[in-house]
Structure 1
């Protein structure tokens, strides 16, 4: 039995922080694989800045030298009505029935789930395990204790909290803004992705 982390994000674009985060989480949580899962452009809660094709190409380029990283376009292929994390995780548990599946997310998303803002949130928390990264001084234990949904499913294994040494200072937004004004965000993202963005004039 292996351990697989599902790392969903817009990846608009993928950055070195995404790669470093995945590596750190895999090391600390003893994951065998990390699946990079670009979100669907059809989601009503997401406003993306480039096409699915460009985001998909950059994710593949960014992870091609790491055998522990896998790119998966499952959510990109889904219709808008079916893009729920609960359904996504159910899919991956069917694909990898012998492995333990973990959803990797930031503490801000844990807050949203605890507040019932995610679709199928009851089933999502009840049936899955999560690796939660500290973010923006959010007290993750307080978030869990203040949410009836979260605290009543906190059995000591549902939430793996990583609260030291993971900073998310460099965002995709920062990189997009730099490209937009003719700045120089080189070295904040993989070189192959940097050159791809320049070649295709993305984020201008």
Structure 2
């Protein structure tokens, strides 16, 4: 009897990536191994409606993301959110990907615990699970517990111990090693002239130096 082949799984890691750092990469590696995933797509945001203030220009954030991803097996960069005009909504990205890739493969939206805790503030958040699974991991001090009541209902309804062999619809948790880093702290350190080489991929740090990013008075937006 022929054993059916499990459907392909694509993990989706979105973020401003301003700049992309070792914490982002650690999350991607942990998800790739734990779930497991055939591919991880990094999706730099264009204009994030939830974040106030100007981000570093999209061309720089995209370039840094491509440098960080490099030739890592199974990792790719998707530019659709940067290419899209107007505000960036995750639900629209998932709908576009589902239409482009078809109904059968599994899409897995990768979130840190801080993002999951705020999920009820996302645009049309209840529709996310129509297009993808959600896989969350603890990041920083934000525990995977004591959620907003609306998120609690979502987890109670869709939570699973393991990612099912289905295209979408489940919420699962996975572990990653603690990586104490935040993009805000990194930008502040870079603005002071520091070079936190342990927190940034070497090609990304070189790019920041070469383009004088995050320095006091450096152009953003």
Shorter-chain TM band: 0.7 to 0.9
Q: Residues 108 and 194 (structure 1 numbering): CA distance in 2 closer, same or farther, change over 3 Å? A: same
1:123 equivalenced with 2:127 (yes/no) = yes
Q: Among residues 173, 177, 185, which one is paired with 1:166 in the alignment? A: 177
1:44 equivalenced with 2:49 (yes/no) = yes
Q: Which residue of 1 aligns with 2:147?
A: 143
Q: Which residue of 1 aligns with 2:3?
A: none
Q: Which residue of 2 aligns with 1:66?
A: 72
Q: CA offsets per residue over residues 17-61 of structure 1, 9 Å max, x none?
A: 211210111001110100000011x23322344110000011111
Extract unaligned runs of 5+ from structure 1.
none
Rounded to whole Å, the distance in 1 between the matches of 2:93 and 2:207 is 29
Q: Which residue of 2 aligns with 1:88?
A: 93
Correspondence list, 1:10-21, <5 A:
10-21=16-27
| Paired residues of 2:189 and 2:196 also in contact (CA < 8 A) | yes
Q: How many residues align?
A: 199
| Paired residues of 2:9 and 2:106 also in contact (CA < 8 A) | yes
1:193 equivalenced with 2:204 (yes/no) = yes
- State the superposition RMSD in angstroms: 2.1
Q: Among residues 110, 119, 138, which one is paired with 1:134 in the alignment? A: 138
Superposition TM-score, scaled by structure 1 size = 0.87
Q: Residues 91 and 192 (structure 1 numbering): CA distance in 2 closer, same or farther, change over 3 Å? A: same
| Paired residues of 1:133 and 1:166 also in contact (CA < 8 A) | no
Rounded to whole Å, the distance in 2 between the matches of 1:184 and 1:63 is 20
| Paired residues of 1:144 and 1:151 also in contact (CA < 8 A) | no
Q: Residues 173 and 141 (structure 1 numbering): CA distance in 2 closer, same or farther, change over 3 Å? A: closer
Q: Which residue of 2 aligns with 1:106?
A: 112
Q: Residues 194 and 95 (structure 1 numbering): CA distance in 2 closer, same or farther, change over 3 Å? A: same
Q: Residues 48 and 22 (structure 1 numbering): CA distance in 2 closer, same or farther, change over 3 Å? A: farther
Q: Residues 50 and 138 (structure 1 numbering): CA distance in 2 closer, same or farther, change over 3 Å? A: closer
Give the drift of 1:166. Answer: 3.2
Extract unaligned runs of 5+ from structure 2.
1-6, 164-169, 216-221
